[in-house]
Amino acid sequence: MAIFSKRNVSGATPLDGVEALFADLDGVVYAGPGAIPFAVDSLNAVAADMRVGYITNNASRTDESVASHLRELGLACTASDIVTSPQAAMGILREVAPAGSTILVVGGEGLISEVTKAGFVVTDSAHDSPAAVIQGFSPDIGWTHLAEASFALNARSDAHPDGIPWISTNMDWTIPVERGTAPGNGTLVSAVHLAAGRMPVVAGKPETAIFDEARNRFDVTRALYVGDRLDTDILGANRAHMSSALVLTGIDGPKQVLAAPEGQRPEFILGDLRELLLPYPETLVSKKGAVTVGTATARIATNDVDIVVEDAGDGLDLLRATCQLIWRSGRAIYGFTVPEQAYTPIR
């Protein structure tokens, strides 16, 4: 018996049936300043047939600076193709702060630019009695910036007895950079959280506002989103009812996707972006529950604990098959003994 996803049919690629491709940046298109292998050529090939946009939680750069970086890497794009978490945050900010009011901004050029374009006055000091605090990542943020946010959030007034509104562009705990993995905006937000005793409203992934912004801007209803993180990219796309693909070139790898909880499970698992343009293998489930993807098969042994795998050459298909086996079981991964072969795919 075969079990198919909505587009998991013989010969179909992950892009079949969609109107646009949306891609994350860090860990998908580039790591640091350099492009990830095969990403640029693959995305340019996709762009020949459909619109390609880029959704990023990174709040440190403007949409134009991101587009310029992508053009330097060889991608054809403009600022309008870039959807950032600061842009999504502006919709929230307009709802909680009076037009033209003063906003305490903790972040870089990308966030400051969007707050200014939205008609607000930017400050970095709690002495200016800001109407709200908005926080986004910048590598230049230090203790002084976090302290000013804490001072502003802890102030009380008749208008705000519980404190002024606080918005975070995103809560990514880490970011992939050229030298490895570094602390992200979520880490910096947590420092303010401990001082202020509350959490912010979040605009970026995995919240849906940023995906709605992309869908509305591109005027599409069916899109595929490809990212490298389960807890932001895949969870956010799934929440926004957008098809999702995890590419194994960034933060989350085979072990993480095998253990993905419900809600963070991608429709597609890709080794790199070339596979966007290739037929995605069918998932076949036998009457006894064994799962076959391509030439790889995974099944649960008679002891109901050990997972037995068979692989005729493509380790990525074995990962896909083992994921489907575990996910379909309704049990957490720690209920199984998973062979190392299943999470060390060979390309």
Q: Write out pLDDT tens, residues 252-308.
A: 999 999 999 999 999 999 999 999 999 999 999 999 999 999 999 999 999 999 999
Set 16, 26, 140, 158: catalytic member: 26
Beta strands in the chain (DSSP E): 20-23, 30-31, 34-35, 51-56, 82-84, 102-106, 121-123, 132-135, 166-168, 174-177, 180-183, 201-202, 223-227, 243-247, 268-270, 283-285, 291-293, 296-300, 307-311
> Average per-residue pLDDT in the chain?
93
126-139 mean pLDDT: 96
pLDDT for the residue 32: 82
Set 24, 252, 311, 317: catalytic member: 24
CATH superfamily placement of domain 20-57+206-277: HAD superfamily/HAD-like (3.40.50.1000)
| pLDDT at 346 exceeding the cut of 60 | no
Strand partners, 285: 291
> For residue 344, how many other CB atoms are within 10 A of its CB?
13
Of 144, 121, 231, nearest to 134 (Cα)?
121
Residue type for position 335: G
Active site residue 81: no
Kindly indicate the confidence band of residue 7, based on its pLDDT and cuts at 50, 70 and 90. Answer: very low
> For residue 140, how many other CB atoms are within 10 A of its CB?
9
225-233 mean pLDDT: 96
Kindly indicate the confidence band of residue 10, based on its pLDDT and cuts at 50, 70 and 90. Answer: low
The CATH class given to the 86-201 domain equals alpha beta
Kindly indicate the confidence band of residue 321, based on its pLDDT and cuts at 50, 70 and 90. Answer: very high
% of the chain at pLDDT higher than 70: 96
Domain with CATH 3.40.50.1000 in the chain: 20-57+206-277, 86-201
Q: Which of the two residues, 1 and 241, has the higher pLDDT score? A: 241
What is the DSSP secondary-structure string of 252-315? --HHHHHTPPTTS--SEEESSGGGGGSPPPPEEE-TT--EEETTEEEEE-TTSSBEEEEESS-H
Quick check: pTM over 0.85? yes
Active site residue 26: yes
Gap between the Cα atoms of 66 and 75, Å rounded: 11
